[in-house]
Amino acid sequence: MNLLRPLPDARAAERVDELLARPGLRLMRIVSLGQANPPGFWYDQPEGEWIVLLAGSARLRFADEAEARLLGPGDCLDIAPHRRHRVDWTDLAVPTVWLAAFYG
Amino acid sequence: MNLLRPLPDARAAERVDELLARPGLRLMRIVSLGQANPPGFWYDQPEGEWIVLLAGSARLRFADEAEARLLGPGDCLDIAPHRRHRVDWTDLAVPTVWLAAFYG
């Protein structure tokens, strides 16, 4: 399997594929194309989430930070359980491919 | 942090960085530049290992398959516990960047 080709068509909605599901671990590929969370929405998750951008570009905002972080290919970060965050923006011109590991 | 830049110099030896360590999960970045396992060597691991190639090119061989698999960017696979495997070859010209999730 390849995570970059073929990519599902994400124009109408973000596409999510589960790559692996084991006790305490889920690996997901998420393909975005312009989607973002609605104003005022925050994720507040009981699990930890580690992410890396494989392609594209996105802005991720933490509730405890003043500025959104601009992410590009190779950028990764760990989101602690219950650390509130949101996706402010994803690129409209090229697909953004996220690999996310939910754990714990 | 970015997994693709800067890359450590792997000419003398493969470089391994732990990205995340949680109960039941370790995420590692491995950078190879021409390294391969010695003839006759096989990994035989108690943990499951899910890998994706972020850059470069490698040949991974399973003991239960006749041919090595050629991997390029975006290629991923899951290696079950104790499924014997080895790295036959990695590109000498450009760094090969692996993301590996050891679980269970």
Give me the pLDDT at residue B44, please.
98
Contact residues on chain B for A27, CB-CB shorter than 8 A:
50, 101
Q: How many whole angstroms separate alpha carbon A102 and alpha carbon A19?
A: 11
Taking only the tens place, the pLDDT of each residue in A42-62 is 999 999 999 999 999 999 999
Give me the pLDDT at residue B93, please.
97
Rounded alpha-carbon distances, angstroms, from residue B96 to A23, A72, A84, A97, B9:
30, 19, 34, 20, 11
Per-10-residue mean pLDDT, chain B, length 104: 97 97 97 97 98 98 98 98 98 98 96
Give me the pLDDT at residue A76, please.
98
> What does the radius of gyration of chain A's CA atoms come to, in whole angstroms?
13
What DSSP letter does each residue of A38-71 carry, written as one string?
Answer: PTT--B--SSEEEEEEEES-EEEEETTSSSPEEE
The ipTM is 0.95
**Which positions ≥6 away from A2 have C-beta within 8 Å?**
B72, B74, B75, B76
Q: How many whole angstroms separate alpha carbon B20 and alpha carbon B59?
A: 26
Q: How many whole angstroms separate alpha carbon A35 and alpha carbon A13?
A: 7
Side-by-side strand order, sheet with A15-22 = A15-22, A25-32, A96-103, A48-55, A76-79
Using CB atoms, pick whichever of B2, B19, B99 lies closest to residue A75.
Answer: B2
Contact residues on chain A for B50, CB-CB shorter than 8 A:
19-20, 27
| Average of per-residue pLDDT values in chain B | 97
**Which positions ≥6 away from A86 have C-beta within 8 Å?**
A36, A37, A41, A42, A43, A60, A61, A63
A52/B3 Cβ within 8 A = yes
Chain B interface, best mutation among A26, A29, A51, A52, by max B CB count within 10 A: A52
* Residue segments in chain A with a per-residue pLDDT below the cut of 50: none
Give me the pLDDT at residue A14, please.
97
- Dig out the tokens for A45 from the structure: 């998750």
Which single residue is written with the structure tokens 């590929």? A29
Using CB atoms, pick whichever of B4, B27, B76 lies closest to residue A19.
Answer: B76
B27/A24 Cβ within 8 A = no
B101/A27 Cβ within 8 A = yes
Write out the H or E segment, with its range, that includes residue A50: strand A48-55
Give me the pLDDT at residue B46, please.
97
- Dig out the tokens for A30 from the structure: 């998420």
